[in-house]
Every structure is written in C-alpha cells, then in structure tokens.
Structure 1
Amino acid sequence: MATKVAVVTGSNKGVGFGIVRALCKNFKGDVILTARNPELGQAAVQELGKEGLHPKFHQLDITDHASIIALRDFLQNTYQGIDVLVNNAGIAYKAASTAPFSEQAEVSLKTNYFATLDACEVLFPLLRPHARVSNVSSMVSQFALAKCSDAWKARFVSTDITMDELSDIMNKFIQATKNGTHKEEGFPETAYGVSKIGVTVMSLIQQREMDKKGADDIVINACCPGYVDTDMTSHKGKLTIDEGAETPVFLAMLPPGVKEPRGQFVREKAVADWKM
C-alpha cells in the first residue's frame, strides 16, 4: 500500500511552516514542505529536523506552471496520489506599499487566486478517496465581501456560481483597477481582500464540483488561520505560527465521512458565515 502523503505549499516560514510542524506530529505519512527557493526550503527542513521531525522538501513556485507540473509528477511517481493538500502559498502587500493599486491587484490575484487555482487543477486529479484539502484564505475575505456591491455579494455567495464566472469576475476587478473604476463597479478597495474572496469562493465551488463527480469523501474547505505574527503581517499578529496552523491542520485531519465542515469557510475550527 502506498505511503500516505501531505503537501503544504509555501511552507518554509510563517503559518505554512507551523502547518508542516503540526502535520509531522499528527499525520501518519510523509509531509512535503515546499518553497520557491530550494535553499530556504532545505534550511526549514533542517530546522524541523532539530526538533526530531522529518518533512521532505520539494521545490514549488505556484506562479510557475512548470514547477507545479514537476511536483505533480514527483507525487505521482513516488506516492501515486495525495492524501492531504494545504494550499497556503500567498502574498500580501504591506499597508505602506507605494506600488500602484492596479499593480497590487494584478500581482495579488495572480498569486493568491489564479496560481492557487492552477495548483489545484494540476494536483486535484491525484487526490485519493478520503483526501482533505485546506485552502488558506483569510477573515479579510469576509470584510471585503461586506464592502462589495449587493450585486457582487449575491454572486459571491450564490450556490450556482461557476469557476469560469469567478475567474471572470477576478479579471474584471483587475481591469477595473487599471481603469480606476473599481469603486464605481462595486468592488472594495482591497486587492488582498478580493484575492481571498476568490480563494474562499473557489473552495466552495471545488467541493460542489467534487460532489457532482461523485468523488469518494474528498473534503475541501477554506479557512482563516487568524491574525498571526509573521512577515506577512509585519509581525503585528497576536497568534504564534503554531496557533495559526491549528485551523488549517484541523481541516487537513478531518475524519472519514465528515459531514461538516465541508465546502465551507472555517475560522477558529468552526464554520463561519459566508453570506450577504
């Protein structure tokens, strides 16, 4: 029988590193730590090795399609499948960033939404029965949803929105920021927030698509790790990376046949509202 395997994207530091640490302690199988920079990834593996934990490293840059394909081929050849996938890789501009808003929108959505979706589309065919997928979103997705026009809110919370429609809306937001019309068009003034609306809604759609295909107990959820003390929050967060890892790992370890959370948005290990 093939060894079980858990994969965590963007995991050489921050919440991703905490997720790998927790999975090494709780998941019965191999844990793959990934990073864009192999040196940083190997250093993270060595750091966990000092704690008696033994993740394996594989290079992954989710914005590079060839890099995702290389990871897929490695997983297929080595494990013949995936049991846990935690999509944690993402970026956030600092509040003090002087980059134009249109640039922040394009880069944030390219990484946080489109690259995460690409990783899912490449890796999902490897998901085994009873696989668990934890897409790391943010409570900022809820805040951003609240600031959308009623028309956009209605689409983002609808149960019939498709992935193509969602991607089209994400592209409309990018274009609107370039035109300087995003506010008039009903979008909020937060590139990160819209990118994480994308991740949350993507996760809900993915569960519906899996169920429609008759997948065997594959469970996908979006989650907020909380406000964590990391580079991404300029170390203003109150939670440790291990505390931030709790909800993503809770979802990664959901038992067979679980009815809830399933295709939902989760905060502090509990289902959170995703509604107008």
Structure 2
Amino acid sequence: MSQQKLAIVTGGNKGIGFAIVQGLCKKFQGIVYLTSRDEKLGKEAVDKLKELGLNPRFHQLNIDDPKSVETFKNYVKTNYGGVDILINNAGIAFKGASTEPFGVQAEVTIKTNYYGTLRMSEAFLPLLKNGAQLIQMSSSAGHLFKVPSPELRSKLSSDQLTIENLSLLMEEFIRSAKSGNNVELGWGSSAYSISKVGVSALARIQQRMVDALYPDKNISVNSCHPGYVSTDMSSHKGPLTIEEGAVSALYLALAPHGLKGKYIWSDCAVIEWTAPNAPY
C-alpha cells in the first residue's frame, strides 16, 4: 500500500476539472488521480498532461453509478489507504435552448450534481486522512439567495438541517418542477441553481458531520464558485480561462487557509452564504 499523499478530482477530463488536475500535478506533493466517466476521454486527458511533463493517473468513475463509485473507493482503499484531497467537480447543466421538459431537467440535474456529489462524499468520508480537504464545486448559482422563498432559505440554511432532510428538499423541488409549480412554490426556475444550492448546503452539513465523527482528524469541507469560465458547459461564453476557474478549488486544496464549512468565491474570498451579499 502506497504511503504517498493522494488527491482525486472527479470530472477531470476537460474544462475546470482538467485545469484543477493540472494545478495539483504542479503543486501537490503526492499522487493525483484524474477521473472521468468516459475512459477514452479520461486517458486522452492524462496523455495531454503527460505531454506537459506532468504525471497524473487515471481511473474510470461515473458518480451517477453506485457500482462505479464503490469500485473506485475499494481501489483507493486497497492501494492507498486514504485520501488527502477530494474535489467533487463532476457536474452537468442543460443548455438554455434545451427542449427537454423542465421536470426532466430538474430530475437529471439533481441526480448528478447533488446525488452524485453526495454519493462520492459518503463513500470517501471514511477514507479522508488527518487534515484532509473535501471540496464541493458549487457556483454563483449555488448561493442561498438564488432560492426566492424565505421559508425555503430558512430550511436550507438551518444548523439543524440533516442530509436526509436536504435530500427531501431536493425531492420536493423535483416534484414541483414536474408539476409545473416550482416558481409558485418559491424554488425559482433554474434546476442548475437548485442543484448547486444543494451542494453548498451539503458542504455545511458535512463539516458538522466530520467534526462530530472525526474530531481529531481536522478535516475541512468547503464549497467554491469557480467563476464564469469558458467551458462546454457555458457554451464558451464565460470570460475566464479554465486555469482561472481552477483557482478557488486549488486554494482550498493547497493553501493553509483553516476554512471549514465555508462558501468561497472565485477570487478565494469567503462569501457569507446566508446573507444576500454575493457579488453576482
């Protein structure tokens, strides 16, 4: 079993995830795994980085597939014992011109962005080493005040909110989207936003969880907004490069910041998630 430090990035074959892997390979004193759903694309991304003189490793991973997550978890446990950095970057977004019914968009988006992130987190929490960093990739769309309803915001930001109840809220949103009354009920009209609000809330809950379960391990769980980046997801409309989009995640992964349960902006500033002051 390797005693080297280990970093894992989900959705690393392109875009921000690719840039995060690149940044880790340059600065992290340990092994870096680039993971992706598509094995061919993942290996091609690793080859690109090797051409730059970097040395990431690859493992196939589909965060929507419980078996895939379990297989990767067991591989990591057997070969490395634990994880020092886990960056849950994999995610999806429907295009504005998408013709799929909103209820379908809501269900599919929540499935990957929220439940996929939750699945990875729950699988790997027991493997997080002393001082580990768990980083949930959120968005400016994941700020609490993207949810119009004060009542829903209160539920989502409660210090008593559990993962079980957060998941129930995500299911409530999906039902409202399928019924067509999501705006009337205070959820707004963006499935992507609600999925990322769920991710941001999840990080806060998980920080409380690891503090209670592993009080001596000094694990940090934070969420971050990468900025509006030129990627396939943004149809390359974002003004930032993928390297600029990786800055906040790399800061949380590598800097001695001491942050726990926080929501970080693209410039690495701590933004109060429960106050309407995000620099949208």
Look up the match of 1:127.
Answer: 128
Structure-1 separation of matches of 2:228 and 2:246 = 11
Structure-2 separation of matches of 1:147 and 1:132 = 28
Cα gap change, 1:155/1:215 in structure 2, threshold over 3 Å: closer, same or farther?
farther
2:118 partner amino acid: L
Look up the match of 2:160.
Answer: 160
String of CA shifts for 1:19-67, please: whole Å, max 9, x gaps.
Answer: 0000000000000000111110110000000100000000000000100
1:111 and 2:125 matched: no
1:262 partner amino acid: K
Look up the match of 2:264.
Answer: 266
Deviates more, 1:209-218 or 1:196-205: 209-218
Unaligned runs of 5+ in 2: 276-280
2:273 partner amino acid: W
String of CA shifts for 1:135-177, please: whole Å, max 9, x gaps.
Answer: 10000112x6344211001112221211111000000000111
Unaligned runs of 5+ in 1: none
1:192 partner amino acid: Y
Look up the match of 1:184.
Answer: 184
- Asked if 1 retains the 8 angstrom alpha-carbon contact of 2:147 and 2:194, the reply is no
String of CA shifts for 1:221-270, please: whole Å, max 9, x gaps.
Answer: 00000000000000001111111001001101133xx53x2101000211
How far is 1:184 from its partner?
A: 2.1
Q: How does 1:182-261 map to 2 (within 5 A)?
A: 182-213=182-213, 214-255=215-256, 258-259=257-258, 261=259
How far is 1:74 from its partner?
A: 1.0
1:151 and 2:151 matched: yes
How far is 1:201 from its partner?
A: 0.2
How far is 1:124 from its partner?
A: 1.1
Structure-2 separation of matches of 1:205 and 1:96 = 34
1:275 and 2:254 matched: no
Structure-1 separation of matches of 2:255 and 2:108 = 33
Look up the match of 1:170.
Answer: 170
Structure-2 separation of matches of 1:15 and 1:5 = 19
Structure-1 separation of matches of 2:189 and 2:145 = 11
Q: How many residues align?
A: 272
- Asked if 2 retains the 8 angstrom alpha-carbon contact of 1:8 and 1:16, the reply is yes
- Asked if 2 retains the 8 angstrom alpha-carbon contact of 1:102 and 1:177, the reply is yes
How far is 1:216 from its partner?
A: 1.2
Look up the match of 2:78.
Answer: 77
String of CA shifts for 1:190-239, please: whole Å, max 9, x gaps.
Answer: 00000000000000000011111214110010000000000000000111
Look up the match of 2:278.
Answer: none
1:265 partner amino acid: Y
**SS of residue matched to 2:77:** helix
**SS of residue matched to 2:35:** strand
CA RMSD of superposed structures (Å): 1.1
**SS of residue matched to 1:10:** coil
- Asked if 2 retains the 8 angstrom alpha-carbon contact of 1:146 and 1:153, the reply is no
**SS of residue matched to 1:53:** coil
- Asked if 2 retains the 8 angstrom alpha-carbon contact of 1:176 and 1:185, the reply is yes
| TM-score (structure 1 length as normaliser) | 0.96
- Asked if 1 retains the 8 angstrom alpha-carbon contact of 2:33 and 2:58, the reply is yes
Structure-1 separation of matches of 2:113 and 2:147 = 19
Cα gap change, 1:87/1:129 in structure 2, threshold over 3 Å: closer, same or farther?
same
